[in-house]
Each structure stands twice: as structure tokens, then as C-alpha cells.
Structure 1
């Protein structure tokens, strides 16, 4: 039987590094081979290949009534991204089976990924997965299957105007305890841009004013929010991926963060284009106020895959400077241009006489002698012609342009 003769049946994907898992981007070509190793002669049917990718979400919610559970409702949905089928080994047209000799047999394959794909993801209530499955049909036996998963990463370039724009915000809160006014606490924060990549450091610029009677503690954290959508319902899971804490601020004091560093750990990129799964990030600057709720300021973040170009950090500053320099377009242009100042009003008579006087022979040296240098000195300090609003060479109306046909 073939089951006894089948030593190896697997799917291998071609990738630059054999030790690392295969990773592809949308639009790339996926190639590989199905390996079939037999210990003896075997009769086979069809060998089929199926590449598939989809996003799935599923969770359950229980409604309780007192001490017992009233009912449990399930939510699930699925979005397909990839579906490719191919036949690597087809049986003969006469209905017979294919006979393979003992040894190793390889069946290569290749297919193109769509241009739009969601990044591979594994979450508590859903996932995005891609895989290649091979099915080997055998006479009088069950179908043998082999499966190989691969990773897809959607490229997110942070070198775009939307992701290079600075993010800023201001929040304030009135601290209350037992219906007593304890004063006001305010925070203002700013970051250089919206898009970052894992491993980068986010410099946080913030001002925390503590006008209350309590000592407060400022903190900053990167929050990941996973959103799962099914049948009109949403399920969210939030987690802190990185955080820092500042020094305590006494009552009536202020603290300024001059680029407090917060490093982004190795996390997955943002998923923003999938209909049922979204992965979003935010930078939250909060102030712990004793006796009342926290003061929270949230700035949106996008974790990308393409890092910042060397000139990308100057893009926002250049664009802002360019917009400032364009203010002159809104100025009113005068109807008549203003005459330039006279030469005598800019250069004094003593400087003019000194400049027009011939240079001393000792200062010139032997290398500056000759008629050519004398020619240069003659026109070097000559004043410009006087300004006149009347054209000294007006165009005569009696001069007509010559016709080309004449």
C-alpha cells in the first residue's frame, strides 16, 4: 500500500533565509515545491495545491440573570483574502492512475499574491492567517494532506505627509474630593510625528501644571487596541506595550518634559484596512491625581514597516517653513515700484574716493601687474547708473516689425 511506501510528504516554500519563516508582501510571487518521497513503486491519483488566506473573528458573550446564566450568544465572521488552486499532478485521460518509482519527487509551483492583503495577525478573538495546502489523492485510501503557513506583512510607509505630521493636544481636569474643589491639573503634550517603526524612540514634549493641593505623578504609555467586529458588534482588547513614569509634582508646581524618550518594543504593525480586525496604537499621557480619576491625553500613533528616510525628519519642518515663506503671496503688491536708493546715500564720499583711487604699488605685488589688472580696477568700483523711471531707449512707434512674407 502507498501508506507504507510514503516516507515524506511536505510543502516547502522558497525564501532567502532557510532558517527564518517565509515572509511575503502583497503583490509578490510565492514559489515553492511539494516534496514526495517513496520507498517503493506507488500508484497515485491527483496532486492538488490550494493557497488560502483569510481573517476570522469569534467570541461569545453570556447574559446572566441573577445567579444563573440566561443565554450565551456567539459572534463570528470571516473575510477571505486569497484563494488559489492548481493541479500539480493530474491523472491520465484514460482514467488510469499515475505510477511513480521509488525515490524523491518534487513538484514546483508558483502563484501571485493580490495587491491588497492584511498583515498576518494572532489575537485573542481573531486572526489573519495564510497557508498553502497540498492534497494527494490515492486509490482505495484516504486523502493525504500537507500544510505550510507563511506570513504576509502589509507595507506601511511612514514617510508620508499624514504620518510625518506632528501630533499635539491639551487636556485639563478639575480635581475634586468629597465635593471639594482641590484645584486644576492640566497637561499639554506633543510628538514630532504620527508614524513610527518598532525600535524607534518617541521623544515626548510635555508640560504638566499642578495647580491643585495634591501631589500628582505624570506617566506615558503606548497602548495597543485590538478591535474585532462581527454582526454589528465589537469586541476590544487593550494592552500596554511600553510605559514610563515621571517624577512626582508637588502642589503648585510645574514639570516640563524636554523630549522624554519612550522606546517602541518589537510589536506588530498597525492593521487599518481589514473590515473585521483592526490593530491601532496610541500614546497616552496621563496624570495620577489622588482622590479622583486620572487625567488622560491621547495622541494617535501608526506603527509602520518602512522606517524613516534620512531626509524624512526634515520633511515636516521644511513643509512648515515653506508655508511660512508663502505668506508674501498674500501681501499687496504696490502699483508703482519704489526707486532704489542713491549710491551716495549708501556709500560715503570718503569711501567712494578711497575705492576709486588707484591701489598702492606695494599692496599689489608683482603678481598683480599688467594691463589686465588695470582694466579690472577701472571698472571695479564704478557706481551704477542713476535710476530713472523714464526709459532712456523707448521703442519708436514708427518702427514696424518686418513681415516674413515681404
Structure 2
């Protein structure tokens, strides 16, 4: 015991490294840095020595992997069981960089004090996968630095950083409405209770965490029992290895409706279900997938529930303000057009006399002859809005009972109802 403690003390005395750390260039020091594909990851390696020390090399290794692993035990008889492991990985980043090493192979002598070695590398331009931690797998990115010194063990440090691959929900496929209908006959043993049907719709497929999904649904209960409509958002994690798939499903948000009595119908006019702070969808990784679903269900006592599933995609770029008002603008426009049709009289009144609006002096000033003599030398000196205002307040043309552009008799009149 005494010798072991002395040996530890000797190691502590001869280890001249006081601090060995990786510091990323991040605008927020307290929060970890976040990057996406094509970004430049930069920072510095901080090495602080208590005394002069000789160093062979200082090397940096940036890595990124998606890995899955799980174990399954199977029985091969009454007393025989065997265990089978399933694992796989996908490499997304593998880059090496030498921060300190003498060209001639000799040792580098560093004086006591603080030393900083900056580093910088660019993430691949091709699509990366968002960082993820799951039950049977993970997607991680990190920077690892090794310090090699003579007659010493290799000193290693490792620091992870987060990658979030952006998913823009302002795309036609993610802005498309999602709808569906499902029905079933409620049976228990030999008895038939009747039919239950669900019709549901949501405005779009893509959402971001924190948004509220308005659910439009209709529940038709033609059975002899009362049913309870519900809705929930589920997350499904899928892990794939060696041709075998492992899934983990969890409910992240729920919504309960009122009881629908026998032979009754219930309608949801945009019932709100809020998305909690969850991770984005992962759809482009070969071995790990994270998918979301909106499930609208009906619980029927005595039999299995009826569920309608509408797919969701959790994005990172929120809906553009104009896109969020597209449907409302179109609906208001249609209402205004209906109001306009009702407001137009069947026989429009003739316009007022020209002389009752425009005086004789204004008519002479606005005549073609007067406009030809107008001085245009200072046309560029006036503001554009002045011309707009002048155009807006021009007097109307001369009214005449005779059509100045008569229609030929041999021309077939156009049908207004076509």
C-alpha cells in the first residue's frame, strides 16, 4: 500500500501537463456548438505545462459515426440458450490533422506556460445526419486530440459537437394536406355492435417543435355503445442491422375528446394538439430512422380500437409567414368574390356626365393639344410617386352613348356563361 501511494505521487509529480482541453469557437460559451453540412468547425487545443516538457506530436482526429447495437437471447431447448449480437455502423466524418510535429522527426521542447493550437476543418458538403441518442443506437460527432511525449503514456481528450441537418418544411411535399378515412365493424365474440368510422385531416405534413396542429375530424358511431375519440403524436425509432430491424415507439403528445354516444356523430373543428420539444425527423440514415405520426383513434369498449395514421415530418426551419397565410388568404378571397357578385346590380347605372365632374378649364388643360405642348425638360427631376398620384386623379374620359369601337355584325358574340 505504501509503495503504491509513493508510485502514484511520483507519477503526479513528473506529469507536467496541468491542462489539456479542446475549446470550440462558439458565440455562446455555455452552450455546445451546433453545425450542419458544409460548415467550418474551428477551435483551439489548450495545453498548459507546469514545467518545460518535450513533445513528439499533437494530432487531431475528427470523426462522425452512426452506430447501432443490440443483443437478443433465444432458446434452443429446455436448458440451452444462445445470445446473438446485432451491430452496424455508418461513417459520416473521418478527418485527421497534425497540430504540432517537427519536420525532421526530432522532439519539440515546449516551455512552461499556456500554449494554444488552433484547428479548422470543413464538414462534408453532402448531406449529414442529425445527432441522435436512442435506445439501441446513436449518431455522434466528436473531435479527438492525442498528445505524444517520450517515456509517457499517450494523453487523449475527446469533445463532442452537435450536427443538425436542416429540414425546411416550406416545400410542396411537406405543405400538402394530409387526410384519410378508416372504418371497422365493432365485434365482440359472436356479437356485432355496428360500424365505426373516422375521417381526419390536417393542414400539412411538415411541422416544427412548439407548433400546434389543428385536427379536423369526424367520428361516426353507428354502434350500440359509446366510444371515446383520441389523438396522439408518436415517435418511432427504427434500428437496422444485419437485415434485422428493431423498433421503439413512444407517445410524445396526446389529445382526448368527448364521449360519443351510441348512434351519434362528433366533429372536431380544429382541435389543437401541441408538439413538444422533440428532435427532427431522421429519414436519410441507412441504419437509424426517426419518424413521427399523428394517430386519430376511437376506443370501442369490448373490442380493439380503430386508428387512422397521418404521417408527420418534424423540421428545423419553421413555416414562412406567407405560407402560413396561403389557405386563409385564398378562403378570404373567395368570400370577397362572393360578396362582390351579390353587390353588383343587374342593370348598372350609367356614369355621370363629364361636365358635372370636370370644369371647362380642366378639360382644355387635359386635351391632347395641351399635353403635346407640355414641357418635358424636367421629367426626371420629379419623384415617381408624383406621376403615380397624377395618374390616379386623372379625370374620366368623355362619356358617349355611342360605342366608339362598334362590334362587326359578322362577329359571333361571346357567351358570358361559357
Same fold (TM over 0.5): yes
In structure 2, relative to structure 1, the CA distance for the partners of 1:90 and 1:232 (3 Å cut) is: same
Distance apart, 1:4 and its partner CA = 2.1
Secondary structure of the residue aligned to 2:313 is strand
Equivalent position to 1:372, from 341, 362, 371: 362
In structure 2, relative to structure 1, the CA distance for the partners of 1:81 and 1:182 (3 Å cut) is: same
Q: In the alignment, is the contact (CA less than 8 A) between 2:354 and 2:396 conserved in 1?
A: no
- Per-residue displacement from partner, 1:23-42 (whole Å, max 9, x unpaired)? 11111000000000001100
| Aligned residue-pair number | 357
Tell me what 1:282 maps to: 293
Distance apart, 1:60 and its partner CA = 1.1
Distance apart, 1:382 and its partner CA = 4.4
Tell me what 2:187 maps to: 176
Secondary structure of the residue aligned to 2:310 is strand
Secondary structure of the residue aligned to 1:57 is strand
Q: In the alignment, is the contact (CA less than 8 A) between 1:164 and 1:316 conserved in 2?
A: no
- In structure 1, what is the Cα distance between the partners aligned to 2:140 and 2:288? 12
Unaligned ranges ≥5, structure 1: 323-344, 392-406
Distance apart, 1:177 and its partner CA = 1.3
In structure 2, relative to structure 1, the CA distance for the partners of 1:112 and 1:245 (3 Å cut) is: same
Equivalent position to 1:384, from 389, 403, 407: 403
Q: In the alignment, is the contact (CA less than 8 A) between 1:175 and 1:182 conserved in 2?
A: yes
- In structure 1, what is the Cα distance between the partners aligned to 2:14 and 2:293? 54
Residue 62 (structure 1) aligned with residue 52 (structure 2)? no
Tell me what 1:32 maps to: 43
Secondary structure of the residue aligned to 1:372 is helix
In structure 2, relative to structure 1, the CA distance for the partners of 1:65 and 1:321 (3 Å cut) is: farther
Distance apart, 1:198 and its partner CA = 0.3
Tell me what 1:330 maps to: none
In structure 2, relative to structure 1, the CA distance for the partners of 1:100 and 1:187 (3 Å cut) is: same
- In structure 1, what is the Cα distance between the partners aligned to 2:355 and 2:330? 51
In structure 2, relative to structure 1, the CA distance for the partners of 1:377 and 1:60 (3 Å cut) is: closer
In structure 2, relative to structure 1, the CA distance for the partners of 1:68 and 1:284 (3 Å cut) is: farther
- Per-residue displacement from partner, 1:369-388 (whole Å, max 9, x unpaired)? 43434877992244323211
Unaligned ranges ≥5, structure 2: 1-10, 334-345, 368-394, 412-418
Distance apart, 1:291 and its partner CA = 0.7
Residue 216 (structure 1) aligned with residue 216 (structure 2)? no
Distance apart, 1:90 and its partner CA = 0.7
In structure 2, relative to structure 1, the CA distance for the partners of 1:252 and 1:378 (3 Å cut) is: closer
Distance apart, 1:63 and its partner CA = 1.3
RMSD (Å) for aligned C-alpha atoms:
2.6
Q: In the alignment, is the contact (CA less than 8 A) between 1:39 and 1:102 conserved in 2?
A: yes
- In structure 1, what is the Cα distance between the partners aligned to 2:353 and 2:168? 62
- In structure 2, what is the Cα distance between the partners aligned to 1:128 and 1:198? 20
Tell me what 2:89 maps to: 78
Counterparts of 1:2-401 in structure 2 under 5 Å? 3-65=14-76, 68-93=79-104, 95-115=105-125, 116-315=127-326, 359=356, 369-373=359-363, 379-385=398-404, 386-388=406-408
- In structure 2, what is the Cα distance between the partners aligned to 1:69 and 1:35? 55
In structure 2, relative to structure 1, the CA distance for the partners of 1:51 and 1:316 (3 Å cut) is: farther
Secondary structure of the residue aligned to 1:172 is strand
Secondary structure of the residue aligned to 1:302 is strand
- In structure 1, what is the Cα distance between the partners aligned to 2:88 and 2:120? 30
- In structure 1, what is the Cα distance between the partners aligned to 2:107 and 2:102? 6
In structure 2, relative to structure 1, the CA distance for the partners of 1:68 and 1:188 (3 Å cut) is: farther
Moved runs in structure 1, 4+ residues, more than 6 A?
Answer: 316-322, 374-378
In structure 2, relative to structure 1, the CA distance for the partners of 1:22 and 1:357 (3 Å cut) is: closer
Secondary structure of the residue aligned to 1:312 is helix
Tell me what 1:403 maps to: none
Distance apart, 1:301 and its partner CA = 0.1
